[in-house]
Chains A and B, each alone.
Chain A
């Protein structure tokens, strides 16, 4: 069982819709959670970080964390074709110091 799991997709949504991306993780002691966006052939780019249970909003992006259920999600409102990319969930599992464990990523396609 992978320690950080994401559905590989592709997740296809129409332009203007809400895209919902999910990530589950194995270690209940995890403290830090990050979402990265990666365009094809490019490097990962940080979108959101979240450390506490609940929602954190930044523009069209909302990260949601539920430590009891061990999942973190990313909502993208008013999805645009430019949001089409692979979204990577990264978790500091347990007491792993500086290390992050990445999920395999979910490919999002926003269709005009």
Chain B
């Protein structure tokens, strides 16, 4: 059982280049998330998808776009990469929240992205 799979694991880009980070989960979860993690900043939510067909902005959405391709896959695109987007990117998934509680999120191994 692979859980949450992210590709690529490492990437170096030049300023202005574009790329798409891929994420797939095999746990039949409804909700998926993209975070970035910077030293001293903790995990910050970029975008999330509560269910297939919906996406919403998180805390730091500027410079990113997302696509919920189907229930399994949720991609993150950088249209014009900037050095400030150098970070570790994590994808996560969870069951959909109920009225009274959230379900825990399960994380992929991350993508380490450097923008020169």
Contacts and interface: CB of A to CB of B under 8 A. Distances in A.
B and A form one assembly: yes
A31 B109 contact: no
A42 B101 contact: no
B25 interface: no
Q: Is the interface of B mostly helix, strand, loop or mixed?
A: loop
B42 A102 contact: yes
A46 B102 contact: no
Nearest to B100: A31
Contacts of B48: 98-99
Contact of B101 (A8, A51, A99, A101): A51
Interface in A8-47: 8, 31-32, 34, 42-46
B96 interface: yes
A interface, size bucket: 20 to 34
B interface, size bucket: 20 to 34
Contacts of A105: 42
Contacts of A31: 100-102
A34 B31 CA distance: 17
A103 B43 CA distance: 8
Given A32-B101, A34-B104, A51-B101, A104 B40 contact: yes
B110 A97 contact: no
Interface of A: 8, 31-32, 34, 42-46, 49, 51, 88, 90, 92, 97-105
Interface of B: 31, 33, 40-45, 48, 50, 58, 90, 94, 96-97, 100-102, 104-110
18 contacts: A34-B105, A46-B106, A88-B42, A90-B43, A92-B102, A97-B50, A97-B97, A98-B33, A98-B50, A98-B97, A98-B102, A99-B45, A99-B58, A100-B102, A100-B105, A101-B45, A102-B44, A104-B42
